């Protein structure tokens, strides 16, 4: 039990799992609880939210007051190590490509700081091609996945409400928190113009789930990771219980280099670099499960060449790395004059929106084929670096306590302005479905290696008019909602065709998927419907790589459900000696 360094490991595990995020964590949990011996490799260092979270730290306890760094791009309190750039681990973009790649390096991966948004796919999300001829259908459907979504809801917990929406299916929900003031105003303004607003669905425990996880106490800091495990992080909810079984050897600071195979083309284990001594190690297993994140898992397979797998492991389809897609994103925000100079109270809720808007329109009547949901923000936030930055753009435009002031300034009058505007901001962001395309892809860069000598990825991605038109629609919708609720737009209102209506660069939303997709035809998909490689039956993928498409649903809940399903299949197959 516990965490020890492996050199030349004679022990043969039932499974070697690469990556301890949502997918890898679930696989470790299921396999370990089934009595199987697991070696879990994690490229980053240890992270236990109970010990390492910055939850409840005051802004002045950070020397930079919560500002972002390259180590924590989402802010100094954020619970994620690394992000857009990692020292010693470059990646490249082909000319004209603008992929932005987020990589966490820590036990639990990016589930330590994620948005907690837990949305099931609906029936339509699995069968996009059948609906509009674009992309491909998944080889499975909602009916295959429903039992696993139900299990994940019960195992990990999510709040929300059953609304009877066909494509935003009912689940096993805990009670949601009441909307906050800005959310009530959003609900009123949006509903008045036909945009629905319903309780959000977040993986935060508002009610007791089990004996090892606490119940939310509304500090609004989920992104810091939760010391009492009230929100889902793979580290706290899956890895720690998996370790408790005694069946998991967790190896941290282990950068996987390639998957090893034998003459028959079967996976035999993983070769990795120990980052602390820069030596190479190998660990053997009856199965190899990739959960390193969509692009990293693809990279591993492409780098695992052998005589039997000359294009990379399990890649005679030549599809690995292709069909790369992300959620689309565009946003807008402003201020609500009705909320100037408002009464102070503790407005902290959960660390995310209490309400949201699921996709509500018929794409057949629009100039883009797929939908988006809307996420909302606002309210009194803890002051951090950047607090009311640029007040010179605000305090001359609106009367402050009935006085027309000159923009900018200083002094007691300026202090009055900061108090006056605090808590009057509101913002919204769309998260939509992009159409996966073969010609959006990542491949091995022929010239560049990282500091471990592992060839890096080179990206080729570009959005199409489908995504650009969707972003344009988002902006129109946001503008209408903001006006309807009496808000004034202060940012995000100036985008236009010249900048794709503010559509974020691909990869920037951090929902990358599709690079090792599943499908029934081995010529078009590396994986079968069990996320098992067609050409290597003891090789599996449990992260976003396996996704054929991603709806507008954020990936994590489906990653967890798929990994649970695949892991139960692996347990079954191992016990039958089929793999």
- Which residues in 238-257 contact another protein (CB under 8 A)? 239-241, 243-244, 250
8 A C-beta contact, residue 380 and residue 561: no
Beta bridge partners of 159: 174, 202
Asked if 95 is part of the footprint of another protein (rule: CB under 8 A), the reply reads no
Window 150 to 169, contacts with another protein (CB under 8 A)? 161
Q: Using CB under 8 A, pick the residue from 73, 123, 141, 214 that binds another protein.
A: 214
Q: Find, among 316, 299, 298, the residue nearest to 307 by Cα.
A: 316
Interface with another protein in residues 74-93 (CB under 8 A):
81-82, 87
**Closer residue to another protein (CB): 161 or 363:** 161
Residue 277 sits in the site that holds another protein (CB under 8 A): no
| Pick 320 or 350: Cβ nearer another protein | 350
| 3-state SS record for 542-557 | CCHHHCCCCCCCCCHH
Using CB under 8 A, which residues numbered 173 to 212 contact another protein? 175-181, 184-185, 188, 199, 206-208, 211-212
Nearest CA among 392, 470, 382, 489 for reference residue 432: 470
* 464 binding another protein? (CB under 8 A): no
Candidates 164-172, 309-317, 417-425, 450-458 — which segment interacts with another protein by CB under 8 A?
417-425
- Give CA–CA dist 390/393, Å, rounded: 6
Cα(30)–Cα(234) distance, rounded to whole angstroms?
Answer: 13
- The span from the CA of 552 to the CA of 325, in Å, is 12
In angstroms, the first-to-last Cα distance of the chain is 26
Residues 472-491 that bind another protein (CB under 8 A): none
Provide the minimum distance between the beta carbon of 361 and another protein in the complex, in angstroms, as a whole number.
23
Find the binder of another protein among 155, 172, 215, 451 (CB under 8 A): 215
Residues near another protein (CB under 8 A), total: 99
Cα separation of 387 and 438, whole Å? 43
Are the beta carbons of 101 and 321 closer than 8 angstroms? Answer: no
> Could you say whether residue 453 binds another protein (CB under 8 A)?
no
In the complex with another protein, which residue's Cβ is closer, 194 or 409? 409
| Residue 407 tokens, joined | 């923009």
Q: Whole-number minimum distance, CB 392 to another protein, in Å?
A: 5
From the list 244, 245, 210, the residue with the least C-alpha distance to 228 is 210
Q: Which is nearer to another protein, 47 or 459 (CB)?
A: 47
E-assigned strand segments in 417-530: 425-432, 441-449, 455-460, 488-491
- 10 touching another protein, by CB under 8 A: no
Please pick, from the candidates 147, 409, 453, 496, the single residue that binds another protein as defined by CB under 8 A: 409
Residue 452 near another protein by CB under 8 A: no
Of residues 78 and 136, the one with the C-beta less far from another protein: 78
**Residues in region 329-358 near another protein by CB under 8 A:** 338, 342-350
Beta strands in 5-153 (DSSP E): 8-18, 38-41, 92-93
280 binds another protein (CB under 8 A): no
The Cα 72–Cα 47 span in angstroms is 14
Closest CB 212 distance from another protein, rounded Å: 5
- Name which of 67 and 172 has its Cβ closer to another protein: 67
Q: How far is the CB of 71 from another protein (least distance, A)?
A: 5
**With respect to another protein, which residue has the nearer C-beta, 207 or 578?**
207
Per the CB < 8 A criterion, the answer to whether 229 and 48 are in contact is no
Across the chain, which distance is largest between two alpha carbons, in Å?
81
Nearer to another protein among residue 224 and residue 325 (C-beta)? 224
* Collapsed DSSP state (helix, strand, coil) of residue 371: coil
| Closest CB 83 distance from another protein, rounded Å | 12
DSSP 106-139: STTGGGGTS--B-----HHHH-HHHHHS-S---S
For another protein, give the closer residue by CB, 34 or 294.
34
Please identify, among the stretches 10-18, 67-75, 264-272, 552-560, the one whose residues bind another protein according to the rule CB under 8 A.
67-75
- The reply on whether position 312 binds another protein by CB under 8 A is no
Phi-psi region of 386 (alpha: psi -120 to 50; beta: other; left: phi over 0): left
Our finding on whether 399 is near another protein (CB under 8 A) is no
Structural tokens at position 222 = 């989920």
Name the nearest CA neighbour of 570 among 20, 24, 12, 152. Answer: 24
Q: Which of residues 11-50 bind another protein (CB under 8 A)?
A: 45-48, 50
Helix (H) or strand (E) holding 476: helix 465-484
Q: Does 112 bind another protein (CB under 8 A)?
A: no
- What is 263-280 written as a DSSP string? TTS-EEEEEEEETTTTEE
Q: What is the 3-state secondary structure (H, E, C) of 17-40?
A: EECCCHHHHHHHHHHHHCCCCEEE
Residue from 419, 496, 520, 523 binding another protein (CB under 8 A): 419
Of 365-394, binders to another protein (CB under 8 A) are 380-392
- Assess 404 for contact with another protein (CB under 8 A): no
Please report how close the Cβ of residue 566 comes to another protein at its closest, in angstroms.
25
Task: Compute the least distance from the CB of residue 556 to another protein, in Å.
Answer: 22
Give the shortest CB-421-to-another protein separation in angstroms.
Answer: 10
């Amino acid at each position: 039990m516990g965490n020890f360094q492996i050199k030349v490991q004679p022990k043969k595990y039932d499974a070697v799992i690469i990556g301890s995020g949502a997918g890898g964590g679930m696989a470790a949990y299921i396999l370990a609880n089934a009595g199987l011996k697991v070696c879990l490799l994690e490229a980053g260092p240890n992270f236990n939210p109970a010990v390492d979270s910055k939850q409840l730290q005051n802004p002045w306890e950070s020397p930079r007051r919560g500002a972002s760094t390259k180590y924590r791009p989402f802010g100094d309190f954020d619970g994620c190590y690394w992000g857009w750039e990692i020292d010693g681990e470059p990646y490249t973009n082909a000319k004209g490509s603008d992929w932005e790649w987020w990589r966490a390096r820590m036990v639990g991966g990016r589930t330590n700081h994620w948005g907690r948004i837990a949305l099931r796919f609906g029936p339509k999300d699995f069968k996009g091609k059948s609906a509009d001829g674009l992309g491909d259908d998944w080889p499975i459907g909602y009916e295959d996945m429903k039992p696993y979504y139900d299990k994940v809801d019960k195992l990990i917990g999510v709040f929300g409400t059953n609304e009877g929406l066909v494509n935003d299916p009912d689940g096993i929900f805990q009670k949601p928190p009441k909307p906050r003031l800005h959310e009530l105003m959003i609900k009123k303004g949006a509903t008045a113009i036909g945009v629905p607003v319903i309780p959000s669905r977040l993986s935060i425990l508002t009610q007791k789930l089990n004996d090892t996880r606490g119940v939310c106490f509304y500090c609004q800091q989920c992104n810091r990771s939760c010391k009492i495990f009230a929100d889902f992080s793979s580290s706290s909810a899956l890895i720690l219980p998996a370790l408790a079984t005694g069946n998991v050897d967790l190896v941290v600071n282990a950068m996987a280099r390639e998957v090893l195979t034998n003459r028959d083309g079967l996976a035999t284990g993983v070769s990795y670099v120990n980052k602390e001594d820069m030596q190479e190690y190998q660990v053997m297993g009856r199965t190899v499960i990739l959960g390193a994140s969509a692009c990293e898992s693809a990279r591993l397979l492409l780098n695992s060449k052998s005589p039997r797998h000359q294009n990379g492991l399990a890649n005679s389809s030549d599809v690995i790395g292709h069909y790369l897609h992300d959620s689309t994103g565009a946003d807008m925000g402003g201020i609500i004059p009705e909320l100037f100079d408002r009464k102070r109270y503790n407005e902290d809720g959960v660390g995310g929106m209490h309400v949201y808007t699921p996709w509500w329109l018929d794409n057949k009547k629009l100039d883009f084929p797929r939908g988006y949901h809307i996420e909302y923000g606002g309210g009194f936030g803890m002051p951090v670096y950047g607090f009311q930055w640029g007040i010179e753009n605000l305090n001359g435009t609106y009367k402050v306590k009935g006085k027309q002031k000159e923009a900018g300034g200083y002094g007691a009058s300026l202090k009055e302005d900061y108090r006056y505007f605090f808590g009057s901001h509101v913002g919204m962001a769309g998260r939509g479905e992009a159409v996966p395309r073969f010609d959006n892809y990542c491949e091995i860069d022929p010239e560049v290696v990282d500091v471990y000598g592992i060839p890096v990825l080179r990206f080729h991605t570009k959005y199409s008019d489908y995504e650009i038109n969707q972003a344009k629609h988002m902006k129109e919708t946001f503008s209408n909602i903001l006006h309807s609720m009496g808000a004034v737009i202060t940012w995000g209102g100036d985008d236009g065709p010249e900048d794709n209506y503010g559509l974020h660069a691909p990869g920037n939303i951090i929902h990358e998927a599709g690079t090792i997709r599943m499908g029934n035809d081995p010529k078009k998909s590396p994986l079968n419907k069990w996320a098992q490689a067609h050409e290597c039956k003891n090789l599996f993928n449990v992260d976003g790589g396996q996704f054929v498409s991603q709806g507008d649903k954020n990936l994590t809940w489906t990653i967890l459900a798929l990994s649970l399903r695949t892991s139960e299949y692996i347990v079954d197959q191992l016990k039958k000696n089929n793999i």
